[in-house]
Amino acid sequence: LQKLIHLLQATDDPLIQEQALITLSNSAAFSVNQDIIRNLDGLSVIGGMLSNCVPKVKEKALNALNNLSMNIKNQEEIQVFITQVCRTVESASLNSDVQLAGLRLLTNMSVTSDYHQKMINSIPCFLHLLSEGTERTKIQVLKVLVNLSANPDMTRYLLRAQV
């Protein structure tokens, strides 16, 4: 895992980045690896890939963070990327793999109300996707909105959102 994280930092080759992210994502299926990746500062390295201009690399980074977000301690570190993930969802092509990967990560990060405040500005986007997206996109957006609606503090933001 350490070598993969170092490889991710050392290369500019999108194909190598993509493969390293896929391997890290698959490794994150095991809870012990989730802790190891966090302790090796892998979350910030993977999060750094969110600004990559290659859509496949960005998608694989979102998928890796999504798998790593199943751990509460990891969520505490991943939360710094929520605003960037929201912007990525908003700017990605409608129904793209990048958009869906971002929505899946936001779904996991919104299971508890700890980070709902960071998603407030994206509520209009979520509602737009709910009306314009494909079935897959709509289902993923609904998961985020259901999680947000479970928090009474979010009611006014959900009801006042301009679409």
**pLDDT for the residue 103:** 98
**pLDDT for the residue 163:** 74
Helix (H), strand (E) at residue 50: none
Structure tokens at 58: 């960005």
User: Where do the domains of the chain lie, and which CATH numbers do they carry?
Assistant: 1-79 (1.25.10.10), 80-162 (no CATH)
Identity of residue 50: L
pLDDT tens-place string over residues 107-125: 999 999 999 999 999 999 9
Residue % of the chain over a pLDDT of 70: 100
pLDDT tens-place string over residues 52-92: 999 999 999 999 999 999 999 999 999 999 999 999 999 99
